[in-house]
Amino acid sequence: MKLLSIKTIRAVFLLLISVASLSVKAQSDPTGQSAVTRTFAITNATVVQAPGKEIKEATVVIKNGLIEAVGTNLTIPNNAQVIDGKGMYVYSAFIDGLAYTGSKRPENVARPNNLFSPDPPNDYAGITPENSVLAQIDISSSTIGNMRKEGFAISHTVPYGRMLPGSGALILLGDKSHADEIMLMNDVSMFTQFAGAPGAYPGNVLGIMAKWRNLYRNAENNKKHYDAYTENPSGIERPERDRVTEAFFPVVTKQRPVVFDVAGVLEVQRAMSLQKDLGFKLIVGNVQQAWDIAPMLKNNGTGVFLSLDMPDMPKEAKGKDLEAMTEETKQLEARKMEFWKKYASQAAVLSAAGVKFGFSSLDATGNKIKANLMTMIENGLNESDALAALTINAASLLGIDKIAGTVEKGKTANLMVSNAPFFTKDAQIRYMFVDGDKYDLEIKEKKEAGKGNASEGSAAGAAAVVGSWTYSFETPQGETTGKMIIKNEGGTLTGSMTSGDGSGDVDMQDVTFVNGVLTFSISRDGGGQSIELVISGTVTGKTYNAEVTVSAFNFSTPLTATKDDGQ
Amino acid sequence: MIKNATVLTVTKGTLTNTDVLVSGGKISRIGKGLNAPNGVQEIDATGKFLMPGIIDAHSHIALSAVNEGTSQVTSEVQMGDVIDPFDVSIYRALAGGVTSTHALHGSANVIGGESETLKLRYGSTNPEDLKFENAPRTIKFALGENPTRGGRSRGIQPSSRMGVEAMLRNSFTDAQAYRAKWNAYKADKNPRKIAPEYDLRMETLVDILEGRVLVHCHSYRADEIYMLMKVFADFGITKLTYQHANEAYKVAPELAEFGAMASVFADWWAYKLEVYYSTAYNATILTRNGVTTSINSDSGELIRHLFHEAAKTQKYGDLTDEEALSLITLNPAKQLGIENRVGSIEVGKDADLALFEGHPLSVYAIPVMTFVDGVKYFDRANDIKDQRIYVNPEQAVENVTIFNREDQHRCMDTEVVSFEALFSNNK
């Protein structure tokens, strides 16, 4: 059975999208290799040097990958390619605080024969902090171009894996032919998450917390042993060269931060409690529920990368549906909305509490990032704080504020140029500069009022899939059947799946229909953890032949659906 | 100030028409016709019964995970790491007059994790707020079918009751060796000495050997209950409470002599082979033999009416009111080492109180208010339906079934999520 991970499927489809757009109209410089000059001048633009610091009718000169000059009345070098920036806005390009961008999920480690579950090999246990994300970097990954399209030039990319997959690196989101060329800094963080090994220790959060303490305290002891031996080995037992403990040394000495993927408020507090016990430098990333713990984060000085993902806004019932609702249902619906607002205003709450934060795309879908940022701004985050989080705050949390995060002379030329102030609905990114290389992005024409640009690709030709379908697929306990209802809501495909066994409807997420391939994912609850199923396949007339993939179980099974008559 | 109640103190008899003044989270005065200081809220409890908050010595509510079942000795894991303050079961327990629970590791492992004694301060998002400050450390052990089933399914020790005993003896022997190694290191005057390997698992076992951790052991059969006392005697461990202990009545004098305690079900058995030989007189026989005994729930449902569970010992065994109430108040407090703080209504103790309409040992008892540290967490007159603290904006309201098998047997099994389970409606 073919094993496809969720991210791989996403990557494949994002790749298809970009291939499709290339065939219509090639980007001017897709490889970055054919540039005739590395000197550029963007003239007559509004330059947002830093949050709240704007120069009108200014010029930015870029040379040899650096910002050579910023200001008015500048002399433009003879060999510069001049870009007329009239009406345009120049920003420091965004920095993604925690992401898998450019990283390729490796094959799952096979279950060893004769696995001794209390003490599995490190690679199966997911304890490989000595690894670097470098080994997983795939320069041909479409995620690099996709995040660049959203305005990002630097990504703190971390490896896939379990409890301690390895160190993260800062990569430049440029198109290059070798991984070394996009590497800004390696080993900038120790990445960790509450992901247990299947059927082996540590199996869940209980074991992971304990294992973390044990590894750390041993590393403290071992560091002393190593140091004493290095100073003078005479009469001292040779320390065992343990790669895991050695990987902890820069963490023990606080030279390297620990970056925790912790979405929920309890997970964030668990990471903080480990930090309190052990004393390492902590950054919490992919945070989705921090509105109640802002003062704690602030007092603790914990670095924060908030998730760029957001739950879908609950639909407000109208007309007949509203009349049919009982008072109790109305109250329950009101609570859903109350909590959606908490997610939407999380960034504003943290900002008001003085917490310094950046953003993370770890669980976010590229084409929703801008929309989600706009939602945060509508819910109280001010624009300059949003910009700071995307630029200078992220740079300072990652220790690169000397070279990135603002449009200043001497910094790396990572710039984003948009055709309107970025935090306006219709603003589109026209150019990206990554490490001084220019990338042209096409401006999409608005076709119809009310149609968002971001989702056009996914909704093109949507009529073929919109409607009601009857699906069936095999599970180990027999056949599961039900309905799939797919809608086109203002250019965005949405849908829900009903299940024949009477359990509730499940919303489809990330529904795309591209080149005859319909892809979406659903989440099901598996004993308290959310398990994602990715469904992808081709639509031929009224037939949908797809495969359901559950990467959590290395499982896939065929799904077929038939469009209901009269559609 | 709670006015004019029938106060069931548990330690100092029943006081009629009595007032209890609470200040700073503590019981500050008990007496008739007390004058409340200015600004103190008065609650008229005429005709109502006030008892100490109920303590459940065996519970798995308010936890995000119960078992780290991948290894059969996991003394390094801590339930304090996985407290889930959002579990609505906490509110349901408060609505049954419960103010403290003993959040135990499951019974998948011979030596499970350290447990956490909680105060049910529902409403906080900070797990630390639920911890019973300065409560002694406790740990979960398990004997019999559960750990051997786990061992057999993973192909690791123990696969029999003999293996369980061997694992216990091996673990404590390893801990003694570990302690000796560290003691030698500490005594070493060499400035260039090298520390031995640090092992959190062994650290906790050493703490058990040295009496710093109270052991609570899941057990059913009399032979294995007796076995553990012999093992503990050999290693000099004295602080021991048996959990479930359905056959403890057979070895009650031996328990009393050892100083071991027991926390049992009122009348629940026959859910697996080792739990057939049981009696509803278990608590009474143990009590009459001088064993400090409590009645627990091990369930998100039973926890709501532990007062009824305690009352069953009056039908089966004729315990006095005070003895029956002790089973769910003072005795579990003793088993958790918190009896100086809670478990009875006395001046100076924490104001963890439950107010009932009808005597709590009557079938007509209705809990009406529950206080933790003098703060009211449950009031039947103001019982809001939706008690969830965090709400998923994308999810339709989940099915609520207070009684389900999953909850009932949560501590019995390791959690295994399978693909099939995702599509089963009966999770």
Boundaries of every domain in chain B: 2-419
Amino acid at position A348, single letter: A
Question: Helices B200-209 and A205-231 meet at what angle, rounded to 10?
Answer: 100
φ and ψ at residue A407, rounded to 5 degrees: -95, 85
A contacts of B421 (beta carbons < 8 Å): 526-527
Q: Which among B83, B394, B405, B415 is the top mutation candidate for probing chain A, defined by the most A β-carbons within 10 Å of its own β-carbon?
A: B394
The helix (H) or strand (E) run that includes residue A267 is helix A265-278
Predicted pLDDT at A563: 87
Measure CA A335 to chain center: 28
Measure CA A546 to chain center: 26
Helix (H, G, I), strand (E, B) or coil at A344: helix
In angstroms, what separates the C-alpha of B174 from chain A's closest C-alpha? 16
Q: What is the pTM of this model?
A: 0.84
**Cα–Cα distance for residue pair B51/B45, rounded to 1 Å:** 12
Burial A93-109 (b: 16+ CB within 10 A, else e): bbbbbbbbbbbbbeebb
In angstroms, what separates the C-alpha of B11 from chain A's closest C-alpha? 38
In angstroms, what separates the C-alpha of B301 from chain A's closest C-alpha? 19
Give me the mean pLDDT over the B223-249 stretch.
98
DSSP B360: T
Q: Mark yes or no for CB contact A205/B72 under 8 Å.
A: no
Q: Mark yes or no for CB contact B68/A236 under 8 Å.
A: no
Predicted pLDDT at A19: 39
The full set of domain ranges for chain A reads: 6-19+456-563, 26-93+412-440, 257-390
**Cα–Cα distance for residue pair B71/B152, rounded to 1 Å:** 12
**Cα–Cα distance for residue pair B128/A539, rounded to 1 Å:** 52
Q: Which residues of chain A carry a pLDDT beneath 50?
A: 1-4, 11-26, 447-459, 567
Predicted pLDDT at A24: 37
The answer to whether the peptide bond before residue A202 is cis (omega within 30 degrees of 0) is: yes
A contacts of B60 (beta carbons < 8 Å): none
Which residue is it, tokens 């449009």? A407
Inform me whether the C-beta atom of residue B65 falls under 8 Å from chain A C-beta atoms. yes
CB-defined contacts A:B, below 8 A: 174
Classify burial at B9, counting beta carbons within 10 Å of its beta carbon; exposed 0-12, middle 13-18, buried 19 or more. Answer: buried
Dihedral angle computed from the Cα positions of residues A382, A386, A387 and A388, in that order, rounded to the nearest 10 degrees? 100
The helix (H) or strand (E) run that includes residue A347 is helix A327-352
DSSP B353: E
Answer whether B49's CB lies under 8 Å from B30's CB: no
Average pLDDT of chain B to the nearest whole number:
93
Give CA angle at B153 (B149, B158), nearest 5°: 55
Q: Which among A111, A205, A206 is the top mutation candidate for probing chain B, defined by the most B β-carbons within 10 Å of its own β-carbon?
A: A206
Its CATH class, for the domain covering A26-93+412-440, is mainly beta
Answer whether B120's CB lies under 8 Å from B94's CB: yes
Q: Mark yes or no for CB contact A236/B73 under 8 Å.
A: no
pLDDT at B118 over 60: yes
**Cα–Cα distance for residue pair B295/A79, rounded to 1 Å:** 87
Could you give the C-alpha distances from A337 to A320, A341, A409, A423, in angstroms and in order?
20, 6, 46, 24
B contacts of A119 (beta carbons < 8 Å): 71
Give me the mean pLDDT over the B93-111 stretch.
97
146-175 of B, contacting A, C-beta below 8 A: 154, 156
Q: Which of B81, B156, B419 faces A209 most closely, judged by CB atoms?
A: B81
Predicted pLDDT at A538: 87
Two tokens at B125?
A: 């998002």
Predicted pLDDT at B426: 36
CATH of domain B2-419: 3.20.20.140
In CATH terms, A257-390 corresponds, of 3.40.190.80, 3.40.50.720, 3.40.640.10, 3.20.20.140, to: 3.20.20.140
Predicted pLDDT at A500: 59
Three-state secondary structure readout of A8-19? HHHHHHHHHHHH
Rg of the Cα trace of chain A? 25
Report chain A's terminal Cα–Cα distance, integer Å: 34
In angstroms, what separates the C-alpha of A512 from chain B's closest C-alpha? 20
Q: Which among B60, B61, B67, B77 is the top mutation candidate for probing chain A, defined by the most A β-carbons within 10 Å of its own β-carbon?
A: B77
Report the percentage of chain A scoring pLDDT > 90: 65
DSSP B53: P
Two tokens at A195?
A: 């992901």
Report chain B's terminal Cα–Cα distance, integer Å: 45
B contacts of A293 (beta carbons < 8 Å): 125-126
Two tokens at B399?
A: 């099915």
Q: Mark yes or no for CB contact B127/A266 under 8 Å.
A: yes
Q: Mark yes or no for CB contact A206/B81 under 8 Å.
A: yes
Q: Which of A343, A502, A527 faces B417 most closely, judged by CB atoms?
A: A527
Q: What are the beta bridge partners of residue B114?
A: B78, B139
Burial A149-180 (b: 16+ CB within 10 A, else e): bbbbbbbbbbbbbbbbbbbbbbbbbbbbeebe
Classify burial at A299, counting beta carbons within 10 Å of its beta carbon; exposed 0-12, middle 13-18, buried 19 or more. Answer: exposed
- List CB contacts of B338: < 8 A, sequence separation 6 or more: B55, B100, B117, B132, B135, B136
Measure CA B408 to chain center: 15
Predicted pLDDT at B104: 97
**Cα–Cα distance for residue pair A440/A437, rounded to 1 Å:** 10
**Tens digits of per-residue pLDDT, A363-409?**
998 789 999 999 999 999 999 999 999 999 999 999 999 999 999 99
Predicted pLDDT at A26: 44
Q: What are the beta bridge partners of residue A311?
A: none
Inform me whether the C-beta atom of residue B385 falls under 8 Å from chain A C-beta atoms. yes
**Cα–Cα distance for residue pair B47/A145, rounded to 1 Å:** 74
Q: Which of B71, B125, B393 faces A314 most closely, judged by CB atoms?
A: B393
- The predicted complex's ipTM stands at 0.93
- List CB contacts of B284: < 8 A, sequence separation 6 or more: B313, B316, B317, B318, B319
Helix (H, G, I), strand (E, B) or coil at B294: strand
Predicted pLDDT at A558: 83
Predicted pLDDT at A6: 53
Two tokens at A396?
A: 């300072």
Q: Mark yes or no for CB contact B81/A205 under 8 Å.
A: yes
Query: What string of DSSP letters covers A99-163?
Result: E-TTB-PPPPPPPPTT--TTS--HHHHTB-TT-BGGGGB-TT-HHHHHHHHTTEEEEEE----SS
Does the domain made of A6-19+456-563 have the CATH classification 1.20.120.550? no
Helix (H, G, I), strand (E, B) or coil at A464: helix
